[in-house]
Amino acid sequence: MTHRRETFPGAERLARELSAVAEAESTSRRARREALRANLVARATAPPSPRRALPIALGLGALAAAALLALWVGRSERPLAASIDGEAIAEGTFVQAAAGERVARFSDGTRLTLAEGGAMRLDRFTAEGARVVLERGRVEASVVHREATRWTVEAGPYVVRVTGTRFAVWWSPVDEALEVALHEGAVEVTGPDIEGARRVSAGQRLELVVSRPAEAASLPLPASAGSDETLETAELGEPGATDEAPPEPRAARARPASREPRAAEARAEPDWRVLVESRRYREAVALVRERGLEPICASEPAQSLLRLADAARYARDASVGTTVLACVRARFPSSAASAEAAFFLGRIALEARDGRSAARWMEISLREREGGPFAEQAAGLLIEARELAGDSAGARSAADAYLDQYPHGIHVEVAERVARGAPD
Amino acid sequence: MPREAPTTSPALRLVTERDELPSIEALVARDPDAVARLYDLQVERVERLVVAVMGPDRELDDIVQRVFLEVLSSLPSFRGSEEGMLVAFIDRITVNVARSWIRSRRRRAWLRFAAPAEIPDVPTSVGDPRARAALAVALRVLESLPADERIAFGLRRVEGRRLEEIASMVDASLATVKRRIERAEARFVAEARRHPLLWSWLEDHDPST
């Protein structure tokens, strides 16, 4: 017999080999995937079987024809109508999402969801679309494609042109940073630093920061100007050169008189943001550790810090994750990012099986952003955290609250068990 | 892995996020591009999970297709708001489909008075000939376990999932999952002892030496 600490002899070896079998099976199927995908798409999108479908199709066809006729007859150059919470809104309406998201619905079926903390103006309604001016924050747009569709989302100096797609635009006037993420279809973005128009397609995300040549040129250029770290930031145009940045890093952001050699130098150096975007989380966190967390915590915008915290969690580096999240809470109090940080601090505590701490953070997250994007998860994990902390009564109360608010939520099974007082 | 497109200025960065799943709305509407994208992004994960709980299977392609069709037909009831929730949802459906498949295959086998499903050869890329022979026996032994125990064993030992995760995937309590894994291991060991090739491989003793 071996003396390995296993549940049975060779358990680890068996697991390793079975895992290799799973990997090999999956690899061997790569060549066939195209055919299998085509088969799946055909099956998934196939109409119902003809025998059953015919009468339904005839009925639906008649209905559709009537609806189309009605639409055609009623169609005019009349501009779109819009409503929020069932109330009609006029052109030029300023919408703020102070507490919870706001959803604007248009008569062509288009939907704009303004995330909490955001503000937008719904301007110039036409028969083909509308002009949306995103003052700040994030808007998720689901634009219905028609024969003639013209929607624009303006964010600072940038314009996003849309003909029918699903996408999100995030704009920070403080950082002068834009992010456009495409879920479906494609859009075109125009504005500073973009030659002509930049097409962004499904699955892509465009990040932009307004460059500030005047500001950069006015900064002194000491002999030691620009550490590698700050040069990378400047070259990448990350939202670091902002009003929030402390004086030292700002001074260090000076661009060299001749940019070419510096650019080459900067490209040669790794950047933790690029590593994070490339999902190389361990390397990103190792780099941050090597260069020190303090300057990053002091200068990076909240979203950037949250991404770094995510990377730390994925890299299973709870220490960096906790520090970065604490920075977010200290630097951006009362913000959505701060509440998000509380939620993830709770997740880290839960992973460390620290029920009390996890429960406290989940409570804070829920209190600070009721109905926010992590509210359901926080409410569900609060049950688990309190249970873990041995607080049965608290867990039951959290379970009752969860079931009231999210009767179809993902934590329903756990909530029902705890609410019933059933043992795990 | 995401990739960066060439930039037009230092301030511009275009990142392709290949792992961004399509929207629920597009999937519910059975948008062909969205269905294809879901498949592309999740097929390896689904295949690995199926093989982890069922072993290499000649019907793997059919099982995986069934998983995706089940996912698509169940999505209207999906209430999650995050990508991670959708992935967990797919995992749960994968496990459910695998369980149904195992059970229905056993019923079919019983009706046909035949042996349980044949287990294909272990891929030749795995291990040495002795390891492959031992693994083939191990897979036959695992095949004989009750479906729930076999699934719990596969998720824990092959996939390396956390107990809490498994509990959520199989819709059972943590205690039940632990029990299933313990029983699966006990049954596996009892059966493995009857097969010298497997047992000696597990103990790392080559009987020929």
Q: Do B22 and A184 touch (CB under 8 A)?
A: yes
- Per-residue pLDDT for A56 more than 70? no
Residue A212 has pLDDT above 70, yes or no: no
Whether A43 sits inside 8 A of B69 (CB atoms) is yes
Higher pLDDT, residue B161 or A369: B161
What mean pLDDT comes out for the span A206-228?
40
Residue among B77, B135, B173 whose CB faces A17 most closely:
B135
How many other CB atoms sit within 10 Å of the CB of residue B72? Answer: 20
Query: Does A207 touch chain B if contact means CB atoms closer than 8 Å?
Result: yes
The answer, yes or no, to whether residue A315 has pLDDT greater than 50, is yes
ipTM for the complex shown: 0.78
Q: State the amino acid at position A336 in one-letter form.
A: A
Q: What is the pLDDT of residue A307?
A: 85
Residue A63 has pLDDT above 80, yes or no: no
- C-alpha A290, offset from chain centre: 28
Choice between A391 and A75, residue whose per-residue pLDDT is larger: A391
Residues in chain B within 8 Å Cβ distance of A13: 202, 204
Sorting pLDDT into bands at 50, 70 and 90, what band is A215? very low
Nearby residues of A246 by Cβ (< 8 Å), 6 or more positions away: A298, A299
> According to the model, what pLDDT value does residue A188 have?
83
Distance from CA of A69 to the nearest CA of B (A): 24
Distance from CA of B37 to the nearest CA of A (A): 9
Q: Mean per-residue pLDDT for B107-132?
A: 58
**B23 — contact with chain A (CB < 8 Å)?**
yes
| pLDDT bucket at B166, cuts 50 / 70 / 90 | very high
The mean pLDDT of chain A is 72
Contact with chain B for residue A407, Cβ under 8 A? no
Query: Rounded to an integer, what distance in angstroms lies between the CA atom of residue B69 and that of residue B55?
Result: 21
Task: Suggest the residue from A12, A37, A200, A233 to mutate for an interface test with chain B (most B CBs closer than 10 A).
Answer: A37
Residue A20: partners with Cβ closer than 8 Å, 6 or more residues away? B125, B126, B127
SS (H, E, C) A111-137: EEEECCCCEEEEECCCCCCCEEEEEEE
Residue B53, pLDDT score:
92
More confident residue, A83 or A48: A83
d(CA A113, CA A381): 26
Pairing of β A151-155 and β A131-142: parallel
Q: Which residues contact A244 (CB under 8 A, 6 or more apart)?
A: A174, A175, A299, A301, A331
Look at residue A3 in the predicted model and tell me its pLDDT. Answer: 34
Q: Please name the residue of chain B whose CA is at the shortest distance from the CA of residue A353.
A: B164
pLDDT at A227: 30
What's the confidence (pLDDT) of residue A166?
80
**Binding-face residues of B in 101-130 toward A, CB within 8 A:** 122-123, 125-127
A417/B160 touch (CB, cutoff 8 Å), yes or no: no
Task: Say what the pLDDT of residue A233 is.
Answer: 24
pLDDT at B8 over 50: no
CA A53 to chain centre: 40
> Is the CB of B40 less than 8 angstroms away from the CB of A36?
no
pLDDT category at B113 given cuts 50, 70, 90 is very low
**Euclidean distance between CA atoms B57 and A26, whole angstroms:** 11
Q: What is the average per-residue pLDDT within A197-225?
A: 52
Residue with tokens 């041995």: A390
Task: Report d(CA A268, CA A286) in Å as an integer.
Answer: 17
pLDDT, mean of residues A72-89:
70
Residue B86, pLDDT score: 87
Q: How confident is the model at residue A271 (pLDDT cuts 50, 70, 90)?
A: confident
For residue B19, what pLDDT is reported? 57
Lowest model confidence (mean pLDDT) among A101-110, A148-157, A311-320, B15-24: B15-24
Mean pLDDT for B76-104 is 85
A330 touches chain B (CB under 8 A): no
The larger pLDDT score, comparing residue A223 to residue A295, is at: A295
Verify whether the Cβ–Cβ distance B72 to A410 is below 8 Å: no
Cβ-based neighbours of A212, under 8 Å, separated by 6 or more: A241
Whether the per-residue pLDDT at B18 is higher than 70: the answer is no
How many residue contacts between A and B have a Cβ separation below 8 Å? 220
Q: A279 vs chain B: nearest CA distance in angstroms?
A: 7
In this predicted model, which residue has the larger pLDDT, A49 or B164?
B164
Predicted TM-score (pTM) of the model is 0.41
- Look up residue A58 and give its two tokens: 């005839």
* pLDDT reported for residue B151: 95
What are the tens digits of pLDDT across the range B46-71? 998 999 999 887 788 889 999 999 99
Q: How confident is the model at residue B170 (pLDDT cuts 50, 70, 90)?
A: very high
The two structure tokens encoding residue B131: 């390891």
Q: Å from B97 to nearest chain A CA?
A: 16
Q: Which of A334, A323, A331, A332 is nearest to A344 (CA)?
A: A323
Residue A126 predicted with pLDDT over 60: yes
Work out the average pLDDT over A119-141: 86
A366 against A257, higher pLDDT: A366
Residue B15 has a pLDDT of 53
Name every chain A residue with its beta carbon within 8 A of the beta carbon of B175.
423-424
Cβ–Cβ of B47/A200 closer than 8 Å?
A: no
Q: Is A9 on the interface with B (CB under 8 A)?
A: yes
Locate tokens 């359901």: which residue? A376
Give the mean pLDDT of A348-352.
Answer: 84
The predicted model gives A144-171 an average pLDDT of: 79
Query: What is the rounded average pLDDT of the residues A67-80?
Result: 54
- Residue A235 pLDDT: 26
Q: A186-190 and A177-184 as β-strands: parallel, antiparallel, unpaired?
A: unpaired
pLDDT given for residue A180 in this prediction? 86
Q: What is the mean pLDDT of residues B9-35?
A: 71
pLDDT at residue number B71: 93
**What is the reported pLDDT for B59?**
82
Q: Is B51 in Cβ contact with A21 (below 8 Å)?
A: yes
Kindly report which listed range (A42-46, A123-127, A234-238) carries the lowest average pLDDT score: A234-238
Contact residues, A window 246-265, toward B, CB-based 8 Å cutoff: 263
- pLDDT at residue A245 in the model: 32
Asked if residues A237 and B13 have their Cβ atoms less than 8 Å apart, the reply is: yes
Report the phi/psi class of residue A185: left, alpha or beta, with left for phi > 0 and alpha for psi in -120 to 50.
Answer: left
Asked if residue A162 has pLDDT above 50, the reply is: yes
Instruction: Pick the more confident residue, A269 or B90.
Output: B90
Whether residue A160 lies within 8 A of chain B, CB to CB, comes out as: no
How confident is the model over A157-173, as a mean pLDDT? 79
pLDDT for A23: 77
